[in-house]
Structure 1
Amino acid sequence: MNAAPADQIRLLDVQALDVRLSQLAHKRRTLPEHTKIETLIADHTQLRDLLVAAQTEESDTAREQTKAEQDVDQVRQRAARDQKRLDSGAVTSPKDLENLQHEIASLAKRQGALEDVVLEVMERRESAQARITELTGRVESLRTEIGEATERRDAAAEEIDAEIATITKEREVIAGTIPADLLKLYDKLREQQGGVGAARLYQRACDGCRQELAITELNEVRAAAPDTVVRCENCRRILVRTLESGL
């Protein structure tokens, strides 16, 4: 393949722009905010799960407390009725009086036990409520952090995108001046060679693979016409000759 030396030099300009575009794309993908947001979202999800668990516990203990209080109330009402019968003097049989007094004592004992249950359930419910308050605050704080990190990420990405757009336009202009067949070869090699399709020959070495040319290869490059598109024998990239090639 043949191409004017000036076209080959411009290929290096395109290569430099492509390298910069790759760097910007990598920078965009690896913005520190990406990792920060992922970590915050994971923490937020974990806290949300804990909050749901605490809310479920609070709801369960609320029902448990209501049931325990109803049990206490039922025992209290029954004891009150028995005490009223006892105080009324309507029960005159010694045996019935003894049974009634025994029942009142049993109910008092039962009421005390049930009231202890109510207190224990209330303590668990208060603990769950305190946990809900704490977790709600932490969830809201993380939500705020996620929003702020997202704004920083978007601002950084927007800045990078603007630079990418500028460089892409510049590349289009320069690439438009390069022969289509040369540009096609360059693009093919760039895809095969990790983003570098053309490299300058600098001080008898290929800037692409950093390998110094052997004497026979160097002589072949010296003998090639200026418009001959030469390739590095080692990496097969387009080898662009310049005043600094050391020929």
Structure 2
Amino acid sequence: MNIHEYQAKELLRSYQVPVPAGNVAFSDGQAYSIAEQIGGNRWVIKAQIHAGGRGKAGGVKAADSLDEVRKIADEMIGMTLVTHQTGPQGRVVKRVLVEEASEITAEYYLGFVIDRASQRITIVASCEGGVEIEEVARRSPEKIIKEAIDPAIGLADFQCRKVAAAMGLRDKERMTQMVRIMKRIYRCFRDKDALQAEINPLAQVNGGKLICLDAKFNFDDNALYRHPDVNELRDLDEEDPKEVEASGHGL
């Protein structure tokens, strides 16, 4: 089961993982109010659908005024967004995420997946973020870092430091941040029976702070009975109607 970006960030926030200030809006008026509450003078409006490639398709835009926030939200909500993952029919945008804008100085990739071969939770990371990880793997496979986690021990600090160093985050301040971020995401991943967690990009912003600018989670359908809080995040409008019908019959 997939969830929206704003839901993934709320989940991460509950585990004290740094994410931008923001909230979901279902109307242009709500978007205006959220931006006003966030404060500042620049915001990002992001279409919320279960598909990647939103930025290239016009589903991620920046605004320099509250009126522009309202205008962009009004244009996005109700539009059909077509990306390389939606198919030609696209997906109707029913909500947007309004966030504070960040001044990015570097972008990284951080993911947690279940490796079927080793049957272990595995970290997948790269010094190249903000692009599809498959593209990085195809173009520069040497930039992909993998670290399997022993389920009997859990994620150890030395593993976090090893991954951080391989990503180029070798100074004490950023390495300390990375250890904290990785351990908290791992705990969330394990607690909620996730199958995939993807932070792309994990960004360094002004001042050297690391923050999760985008987040994606996928959960084990067979474990949802243990997590009613996660099951409540399900958006049936974003799923294949045949899959929804099948799940209703326990298939």
User: What's the TM-score, normalizing by structure 1?
Assistant: 0.19
More helix by share: 1
More strand by share: 2
Larger Rg: 1
